[in-house]
């Protein structure tokens, strides 16, 4: 799942320019969709300690580390908090599960619960590694 053109991600709000974001020309834009693959398939049981899960957690940590000092972070967070973007990806240093909690959409379905659980696992892993995280769920 690749980003594609940045114009695709400006969406309807032309006032939220993220073209100077550190993710825009990153070598691995899929990092900002960590956790979307293995963890959100509600038809399969996910082993939260599986190698695949650990790899997704590591990818999310890399993306969040890039977001930490991004000049487009505020606009990106606004963008990620509206429309369907709230459900997917890392925007403005927050994961979908964190944005869902803030929006009060935390326990409506199992997919949202999985997103929240993934966000918690990422933040817990960051804390265990002595990394600062700017959000908690």
In a domain, 107, yes or no: yes
In a domain, 136, yes or no: no
At residue 10, the pLDDT reads 46
How high is the mean pLDDT of the chain? 81
At residue 38, the pLDDT reads 54
In a domain, 1, yes or no: no
| Res. 44: pLDDT tops 70 | no
Q: How sure is the predictor about 3, in pLDDT bands with cuts at 50, 70 and 90?
A: very low
| Distance (Å, whole) CA 21 – CA 27 | 13
In a domain, 113, yes or no: yes
Full-model pTM: 0.81
pLDDT tens per residue, range 87-125? 999 999 999 999 999 998 867 688 888 888 899 999 999
The dihedral built from the CA positions of residue 48, 51, 56 and 62, taken in this order, carries a sign that is positive
| Res. 5: pLDDT tops 50 | no
In a domain, 133, yes or no: no
Owner of token pair 């997103």? 115
Beta-carbon count within 10 A of 114 CB: 19
Tell me which residue range forms the domain holding 56. Answer: 6-128
Q: How sure is the predictor about 35, in pLDDT bands with cuts at 50, 70 and 90?
A: confident
In a domain, 19, yes or no: yes
At residue 111, the pLDDT reads 83
Q: How sure is the predictor about 51, in pLDDT bands with cuts at 50, 70 and 90?
A: confident
- What are the E-state strand segments in the chain? 90-91, 94-95
In a domain, 134, yes or no: no
Number of domains in the chain: 1
Name residue 94's beta-bridge partners.
Answer: 91
């Amino acid at each position: 799942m690749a980003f594609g053109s940045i114009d695709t991600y400006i969406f309807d709000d032309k006032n939220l320019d993220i073209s100077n974001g550190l993710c825009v020309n990153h070598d691995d834009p899929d990092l900002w969709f960590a956790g979307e693959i293995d963890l959100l398939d509600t038809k399969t049981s996910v082993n939260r300690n599986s190698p695949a899960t650990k790899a997704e957690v590591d990818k999310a940590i890399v993306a969040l580390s890039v977001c930490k000092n991004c000049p487009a972070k505020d606009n990106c967070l606004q963008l990620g908090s509206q429309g369907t973007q709230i459900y997917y990806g890392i925007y403005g240093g927050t994961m979908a599960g964190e944005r869902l909690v803030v929006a009060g959409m935390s326990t409506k379905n199992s997919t949202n619960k999985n997103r929240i659980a993934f966000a918690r696992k990422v933040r817990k892993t960051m804390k265990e590694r002595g990394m600062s995280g700017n959000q908690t769920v």
